[in-house]
Amino acid sequence: MIPRIFKYVLIGILFMTPGEFLINVFVKGSLAYYFLAVLFYALLIFISYGLWKLTSRMRPQWLEFTLSSLLFGFLGLMGEWFILGNAPWLNPGAVQLGMVAWWIGVFLVPRLFLEDDSYRDIKKFALWFHVIFSLVYLIVSALGRLAIGIVIFGYGMVVWLPLYILYIRRKWKLSKAVSGSS
């Protein structure tokens, strides 16, 4: 049996892999940067697992999830701005909301896929959307339309936000049902 922490990290890496492949291989032309990014994300996702374990005792759970989403989105955006140079005043073409959605997803999509069957419909949608969405922007980029692939990636990430809201809503409903039944 695979330990839960390794599943969490692996799911996070699978989520971020296509986007980082686009940026590091297609845009920067560096497979080495891509592998460094995978290692960096593995470390960040591992740390986020520990934070999740610390905050998971917070009640209600939907509030912890919402606060974690905001924290990871904010910290990721600050990293984009001040470390990677994607601040609006440095890179006006960067899709800020897409970056927030990306960082929320890197840390919270693994949580979704470790949930029980009451989240099956959300997991199924997330998996299909991610696979199709990733294939589209990678294929478009590989066919020589890199600028269009990047736009699809940047704006397409925003589509994840309603999924996160659906997930939070499900957490809220389930926590309400549990607290109402006791």
User: Domain-by-domain residue ranges, the chain?
Assistant: 4-176
The amino acid sitting at 19 is: G
Residue 60 has pLDDT above 80, yes or no: no
Share of the chain above pLDDT 70, in %: 96
> How many CB atoms within 10 Å of residue 68?
20
Tell me whether residue 141 is exposed, middle or buried, using C-beta atoms within 10 angstroms of its C-beta: 0 to 12, 13 to 18, 19 or more.
buried
Retrieve residue 7's tokens: 């599943």
Helix (H, G, I), strand (E, B) or coil at 43: helix
pTM of the model: 0.85
The amino acid sitting at 37 is: A
Mean pLDDT within 76-100: 91
Taking the C-alpha atoms of residue 26 and residue 23, their distance in angstroms, rounded to an integer, is 6
pLDDT for residue 174:
76
Q: Give how far the C-alpha of residue 123 lies from the chain's centroid of Cα atoms, to the nearest Å.
A: 13
pLDDT for residue 6:
94
Question: pLDDT grade, residue 182 (50/70/90)?
Answer: very low
pLDDT for residue 51:
85
pLDDT for 129-155, tens place per residue?
999 999 999 999 999 888 898 888 888
Question: pLDDT grade, residue 14 (50/70/90)?
Answer: very high
